A and B are shown apart, each in its own frame.
Chain A
Amino acid sequence: MKKLFFLAAAFVALLGVTAFAGDYHRGATLICNDCHVMHFSQSHDYGDGGYEAPALTSGPNEALLRAPVNDLCLTCHDGVAGAPDVLGENFNGYTRNAGSLNEEDNSVAGYPNTGGHSLGYEGNVPGSNPPIQDTLECSSCHSVHGGANYRNLGARGTTFTVTYNNVVPGTNDLTRDVYQRNNAHMFEGGTNHYATSNIDYNEPGNSGSAYATMCKSCHTDFHGNIGGTEYGTTVYDADTTAGGVRWFGFERHPAAYVNLNGSTYFRAANSTRPAAGFAKSLYRPKVMSATGAWGAQNALLTQTANFTSDLTPGCMTCHKSHGNQNPFGLIYANGSAELTENGNTGATYAQMCQQCHSMGTLLPGVL
């Protein structure tokens, strides 16, 4: 506890740094000795009032790292106040938008290695084409030296952009992929920077998904273009009479392009099928919006402002990017209450599907 207090105090000490536009580990907050040690020996602190990394343990390590890469990241990012906690229970309390990673060796209590991304996983990456077989590390998805992308995202060997409103914090720029309401980082005293409530997804151009493209850099076959091989080449325009394009016949679930009411199977509020899910839920999972009109939680969507013709499901509608306690990191949402990292208490994955889809009789809890 003493150690944690020290670390927290060190982060808070960084508050002297003016709130900055980017994410941590970038630009002025890219601090080499946070992660590296030149001689695997350190007899004292730097004494500059900044964060001081904990004592060296196992090493020396490749790339002059203070510890093996995942262990190194978790030095700060697991159970430390002032830094986002990405493994297991959240030390900092808020509902994490990215959820929780787990360890492939199943060493994280309550977070099995079936619940999303598993640090240390060495098998084939699901959907990778050509097959990728590599060890999953934090750096598989994040640029360790920072970058222009949201959350320093950057997968090895691939190029993509996930933009966010870092230029004018607090103002949603619809041409950028992510809207972050409060830009005060945790080391700056922010308490919800990484919280679900602080983040929503834009849909620049009303098509595509930067996030899905990023996921595709590993899960190659899981995302593509309409009519492409990933989603199936025989996706039909089933009904244009209702004022929009409706689709069916997908061979993989779309992660972009298809608005909620664009599916033949969407459970619309005015459907002859029982209305439920998105159109009737007070609490809804994350979707993309080209207009920034996601609708407030604990309030129904309104036909005029933010109805379903604007809202598009993406990867994060169903999955936590890091994971959670459910299989595949799925968010079991039933619309009944504010979403936790796992969804709603007692909800099932079928209820999650029924947030959008009309199949089947209504399940208990689906409003």
Chain B
Amino acid sequence: MVKRTLTLGIAAVLLFSGSSAAFDGGTYHRGANLFCSQCHTMHASESHAGLPSEPGAYPRTYTPQPKLLKAADPVTLCLTCHDNQTGIPDVVGADVNNLNDRSAGFFGNVDMPNDNGHKIATGLEPSDLCDRCHSNLPDFRDASGFMTASVSCIDCHNPHGNSRSRNLQRASSPGSEYPFCYYIRPGSTGLASYESANIGYGAPSGMPNSTQGVEVTDMCYDCHHSIFNNTDVDTTHVKHPVYYSKDAKRNTISQGDAKGSTVSSHWISGTGAGFLETPRVHFVVRGALTFAAAATVAASNGVFCLSCHKAHGSDRAFGLVFSPTPGGEGCDQCHNKTAI
């Protein structure tokens, strides 16, 4: 098993081609890196490997599954490689690759409740996406299912690849997504391209979304739309602002300076409260078209979903990237309340 895992890892590393190009077009499972037989079997039987990247013992037989999949459920199939396989991004629990900080974090165990991020589960169909939260459709006001809703890998990722970063797709309407303003540090290839520190986020600055892209926020909005309903009361937010250009919600950290709710100079300094235990959180840079631009710290930086949350999850409640207690660690990177 160790030998197979190692071989898989080597094969995967060889095949990965991280890219610093705009919109990270080099994601695996697409184009020349889309290998049908990694996930599908035509006759539920393999007398030998078809590809060098499919090592292990042969002959193999599979229990025939719909869509010719090699496992009964897409999640199970994805995790065949993406859990505990050296050299392949590990998205569940501890990281077998020992990355410092996975950019998307990690899920809990499959089919188990997860207060620390998205609950990943089997038995889901893309067609039941809305029903998972809106349990009593057509009453869309009833979102009682949200508390226990689950996700499948293929809700957010196109298993056959697309031209989007990480093969991200809008869960409700795959194929309708714009490119994402998602940039990888130049030179970061293979697993390094999954390190949080090697990812930068941009936001459009008025150019067409199809060319400049949109924030990754657009992915989150697809399901978590209610949290964007931020109507101020007496000029005070009732929900934390989230940068989302498509709704003309473009916050900057400096916006709170006048009222003292934020301290942009503290954010820029990168030291003291909020930074003691937590590396600088992610932010968006309007108009950034490169990793360098997207990594530029300024008072005009915007806060978005991934500033505070890991897309998959983390070891903290709500998939937060920092511990909110004591003293608002992490929050204080922008707000600096502990210093008051």
* Chain A contacts to B: CB under 8 angstroms: 114, 123-124, 126-127, 219, 221-222, 230, 232, 234, 248-253, 272, 318, 327-328, 330, 348-350, 353, 359-364
| B161 engages A361 (CB within 8 Å) | yes
Among B31, B42, B50, B51: residue with most chain A CB under 10 A: B42
Interface size class of B (residues with CB under 8 A): 20 to 34
| A-B interface contact total, Cβ < 8 Å | 80
Mark B24-50 against chain A: 1 for CB-CB distance below 8 A, else 0. Answer: 000000111011110000111111111
CB contact between A253 and one of B34, B43, B51, B163 (< 8 Å): that residue: B43
* Chain B contacts to A: CB under 8 angstroms: 30-32, 34-37, 42-51, 59, 64-68, 160-163, 175
Given A124-B59, A222-B45, A327-B48: A350 in contact with B68 (beta carbons within 8 A): no
| Residues on the A chain within 8 Å of B48, using CB | 114, 327
CB contact between A361 and one of B44, B45, B163 (< 8 Å): that residue: B163
| B67 engages A361 (CB within 8 Å) | no
| B45 engages A221 (CB within 8 Å) | yes
| A360 engages B67 (CB within 8 Å) | no
| A252 engages B66 (CB within 8 Å) | no
Q: How far is the CB of B262 from chain A (nearest CB, A)?
A: 42
Given A124-B59, A234-B66: A253 in contact with B42 (beta carbons within 8 A): yes
| B66 engages A249 (CB within 8 Å) | yes
CA distance A232 to B72 in the complex (A): 13
| A252 engages B31 (CB within 8 Å) | no
CA distance A248 to B162 in the complex (A): 21
| B43 engages A222 (CB within 8 Å) | yes
CA distance A197 to B65 in the complex (A): 36
Question: In chain B, what residue has the closest Cβ to A249?
Answer: B66
Given A126-B45, A219-B43: A328 in contact with B50 (beta carbons within 8 A): yes
Among A127, A327, A359, A360: residue with most chain B CB under 10 A: A360
Given A360-B160, A360-B161, A363-B32: A221 in contact with B44 (beta carbons within 8 A): yes
Among A234, A249, A252, A348: residue with most chain B CB under 10 A: A252
| Residues on the A chain within 8 Å of B45, using CB | 126-127, 221-222
Q: How far is the CB of B60 from chain A (nearest CB, A)?
A: 10
- Known contacts A349-B37, A353-B36, then 15 further A-B pairs from the complex at CB < 8 Å, ordered by chain A residue: A123-B47, A126-B46, A126-B47, A126-B59, A221-B45, A251-B66, A252-B64, A318-B42, A327-B49, A328-B50, A350-B34, A360-B31, A361-B162, A361-B163, A362-B31
Q: How far is the CB of A188 from chain B (nearest CB, A)?
A: 38
| B36 engages A250 (CB within 8 Å) | no
Q: How far is the CB of B93 from chain A (nearest CB, A)?
A: 29
Given A126-B47, A350-B35, A353-B36: A249 in contact with B67 (beta carbons within 8 A): yes
CA distance A109 to B35 in the complex (A): 27
| Residues on the A chain within 8 Å of B35, using CB | 350
CA distance A124 to B45 in the complex (A): 12
Query: Would you give 6 A-B contacts (Cβ < 8 Å), ordered by A?
Result: A126-B45, A232-B64, A248-B66, A249-B67, A250-B68, A361-B162
| Residues on the A chain within 8 Å of B160, using CB | 359-361
Q: How far is the CB of B142 from chain A (nearest CB, A)?
A: 29
Q: How far is the CB of B210 from chain A (nearest CB, A)?
A: 16
| Residues on the A chain within 8 Å of B43, using CB | 126-127, 219, 221-222, 252-253
| Residues on the B chain within 8 Å of A232, using CB | 64, 66
Q: How far is the CB of B233 from chain A (nearest CB, A)?
A: 44
| B65 engages A251 (CB within 8 Å) | yes
| Residues on the A chain within 8 Å of B36, using CB | 349-350, 353, 359
CA distance A137 to B67 in the complex (A): 34
Among A127, A234, A272: residue with most chain B CB under 10 A: A127
Given A234-B66, A251-B66: A349 in contact with B59 (beta carbons within 8 A): no
| B34 engages A361 (CB within 8 Å) | yes
| Residues on the B chain within 8 Å of A124, using CB | 59
CA distance A219 to B34 in the complex (A): 28
| Residues on the B chain within 8 Å of A359, using CB | 34, 36, 160
CA distance A227 to B138 in the complex (A): 33
| A252 engages B68 (CB within 8 Å) | yes
Given A221-B45, A353-B36: A251 in contact with B30 (beta carbons within 8 A): no
Q: How far is the CB of B186 from chain A (nearest CB, A)?
A: 23
Given A359-B160, A360-B161, A364-B32: A250 in contact with B67 (beta carbons within 8 A): yes
Q: How far is the CB of B108 from chain A (nearest CB, A)?
A: 30
| Residues on the B chain within 8 Å of A250, using CB | 66-68
| A123 engages B59 (CB within 8 Å) | yes
Q: How far is the CB of A115 from chain B (nearest CB, A)?
A: 10
| Residues on the B chain within 8 Å of A251, using CB | 44, 64-66, 68
Given A328-B50, A364-B32: A253 in contact with B68 (beta carbons within 8 A): yes
CA distance A125 to B251 in the complex (A): 65
Q: How far is the CB of B23 from chain A (nearest CB, A)?
A: 13
